[in-house]
Structure 1
Amino acid sequence: MWKRIILILVVLACLAGGAWWLYGDKRTPSDVLTLYGNVDIRQVDVAFRVGGRITELYKEEGDTVKAGEKLAQLDLQPLEYALSRAQAELAMQQAAYAQMLNGYRPEDVAQARASLEGAQAAFNNAAITLRRTENLRKQRALSQRELDDARSAYTEALSRRDAAQEQLRLMEAGYRAEEVMRQEAAVKAAEAAVHTASLNVSDTELFAPQDGVVLTRVHEVGAVVQPGQTVYAVTLNNPVWIRAYVTQPNLGHIRPGQEALLSIDATPGKTYRGFVGFISPTAEFTPKTVETKEVRNDLVFRFRVVAEDPDNVMRQGMPVTVTLRKDGGRP
């Protein structure tokens, strides 16, 4: 009797449990959204901004690097020579500019004045000689050739006197404003060349842009590289991104900033925190013509989760399970 009652109770309990599993769960949908994605770690190709021969490489593949840590060194000598040439050119241009600003030396002006006085004296003498020669020629005491020579000497002395006067005038007036401006521009160009050469020297050192891990060491010591040619490929540790997809019916359940719970196969039983950082405005795998509701529901939207990875276990392409609350709460 008791056995029959117990058996009946067990059967009823099983039927009630089955009915709840079959119908009750469907009547009360879960508030948890489970999606799947992959780790998408960013990578940067680190290169020199100048070309040259590599003299030092400080990291191997798999080494961790810190932001600002030195990774490689180029041969300095050619660029140091270029810097010295630029500095010498700047010194010459600055000296010429200072000369223009200060004007001519008093000694130079005095010399030009003395030259004018000498040219004036020579002109006066040539003028006197010409007058005498003309008078003697009228008296037929001299030949026509001697008169022509006197006139030629007079003309030459006049030209020299005028040139000396102009030279003195220019030296007393100083340099033209346009010449000063041109020389000032030459100084600025030389300064820019020095800055560029100095920057090129500093660019012979290669530093890590952010914390990360060396993925690839592309070259070895002694290799000659061109500007922009990759020397190291470095994966960045922070932030770690999870690339996942959500179907169109569930798109309304996620929003930027929403917290997410992440789990990976590498650490079973352990979860990591993250938040939704980006939701694509464009659907993917979209057919050319959408005609039915079933096809429309197959559309997916890419979104990104920014993950916390304190254990540094997430690697590129690793599958990740993303759990979110449909109401936007903390999972």
Structure 2
Amino acid sequence: MKKILAIIIILTAFAGIGWFYQKHHPEKEKVLVLYGNVDIREVNLGFRVGGRLSKLIYDEGDRIKPGEVIAQLDDEPYRNQVANVSAQVNSLKERLKLKEAGNRPQEIARAKSLVREQDIATANAKQVFLRAERALLIKGISTQERDNAEMIYQESEARLAAAKQSLDLLQAGFRVEDIAQAKADLTQAEAALASAELQVKDTVLTAPAEGIILTRTQEVGAILPTGATVFTVSLQRPVWIRAYVHEPDLGHIHPGTQVDVYTDSQPDKPYKGHIGFISPRTEFTPKSVETTELRTSLVYRLRIVVDNPDEGLRQGMPVTIKLMVDQAAVAHPVPPL
């Protein structure tokens, strides 16, 4: 009996010590529970140019990887346009070279010869005119003959001046403004060529990211306008979860906080993740929540990035998020949208 009494006393003492410790040393952390949904991330894919659809490489349900070709347009019209613009660029390049190089040496030499020839002719016409002046003084010729000699001399001088101006123009080459205009024309044509080459590339549709094709809306041979949707793709990476946190709990979390994500299908296998984004703007609890009390609560939207996603996480799936926070009052969890 004494032994039993001693055991009871010892157990009572341990229980008292435990109660005293718990009272004066409370837990430093508590679990904050949030509810959310895996974000639905889809993208409609189409061509930036129009044309005839010539090839569809994937179908609904197929997985695609970044950069893979998934569809093609008939690119022949666009290649013909590239050839046409390329010929224009080559022509303008040669024209610019011609203007920058100036006139040919043979043309300049010919102009110099014309100047020398006209100079001699002018000198001869001058001598004839001077002799006519002297002959008129002694009444050796008529006034009309003297006037004819003067006219020939003046015409010769005018032709000499014109020949010198032509030589100056040939030696000076093309005007700076003409060269600048030729350069501008070439730049414009090169831009048109780059645009045409880009259009050829745009006849090939590639996957922007890893995903699964949900829908295929076109068939081979269809004439598509610019931007028409060909595939709708569900993006698989990264996996984001949308959740909401009450304003009183906002001080316990921050971007980078580690969390555990639980699904109903695998409650014993949590996913690891972290908070990637906290909305800077408050909002009311989504209207889909039926509780009138919760509807009036102010919450902040969170984006949680799952670090180790697999096929167990499907878009739109409801999940539970748990994270450890400091010993402060933890508000009620916010249901998902």
Which range, TM-score by smaller chain? 0.7 to 0.9
CA distance in 1, matches of 2:76, 2:128: 69
Please show how residues 8-19 of structure 1 align to structure 2 within 5 Å: none
Aligned residue for 1:262, secondary structure, equals strand
Give me the CA root mean square deviation.
Answer: 3.7
CA distance in 2, matches of 1:219, 1:123: 83
Cα offset, 1:40, TM superposition: 0.4
Please show how residues 34-113 of structure 1 align to structure 2 within 5 Å: 34-113=33-112
Deviations 1:31-67 (A, max 9, x none): 2222211110322332323332221121112211001
Please show how residues 1-331 of structure 1 align to structure 2 within 5 Å: 31-116=30-115, 139=142, 160-285=159-284, 298-308=297-307, 310-327=309-326
Aligned residue for 2:85, secondary structure, equals helix
Q: Which moved more, 1:209-218 or 1:111-120?
A: 111-120
Deviations 1:65-122 (A, max 9, x none): 0011111112211111121122111211211222223221122223333444566677
Change (3 A) 1:312 1:119: farther
CA distance in 2, matches of 1:29, 1:140: 131
Change (3 A) 1:297 1:192: closer
CA distance in 2, matches of 1:163, 1:218: 74
CA distance in 2, matches of 1:247, 1:59: 44
Cα offset, 1:126, TM superposition: 7.8
Cα offset, 1:159, TM superposition: 5.2
Change (3 A) 1:76 1:124: farther
Aligned residue for 2:281, secondary structure, equals strand
Cα offset, 1:296, TM superposition: 10
- Percent identity (aligned): 42
Q: What residue identity is the alignment partner of 1:42?
A: R
Q: What residue identity is the alignment partner of 1:207?
A: T
Aligned residue for 2:244, secondary structure, equals strand
Contact 2:276 / 2:304 at 8 angstroms: preserved in 1? yes
CA distance in 2, matches of 1:213, 1:296: 36
Q: Which moved more, 1:215-224 or 1:110-119?
A: 110-119
Contact 1:54 / 1:224 at 8 angstroms: preserved in 2? yes
CA distance in 2, matches of 1:258, 1:225: 47
Contact 1:36 / 1:320 at 8 angstroms: preserved in 2? yes
Cα offset, 1:303, TM superposition: 0.9
Aligned residue for 1:87, secondary structure, equals helix
Q: Which moved more, 1:155-164 or 1:122-131?
A: 122-131
Aligned residue for 1:171, secondary structure, equals helix
Contact 1:240 / 1:309 at 8 angstroms: preserved in 2? no
Aligned residue for 1:60, secondary structure, equals coil
Contact 1:113 / 1:168 at 8 angstroms: preserved in 2? yes
Cα offset, 1:306, TM superposition: 0.7
1:18 aligned residue? none
Change (3 A) 1:35 1:141: closer
CA distance in 1, matches of 2:106, 2:323: 89
Cα offset, 1:185, TM superposition: 3.0
Contact 1:41 / 1:240 at 8 angstroms: preserved in 2? no
Cα offset, 1:171, TM superposition: 0.7
Cα offset, 1:186, TM superposition: 2.8
For structure 2, the residue ranges without an aligned partner over 5 or more in a row are 1-22, 286-292, 328-337
Change (3 A) 1:87 1:296: closer
CA distance in 1, matches of 2:76, 2:309: 43
State TM-score, norm by structure 2: 0.72
CA distance in 1, matches of 2:249, 2:108: 91
Contact 1:248 / 1:297 at 8 angstroms: preserved in 2? no
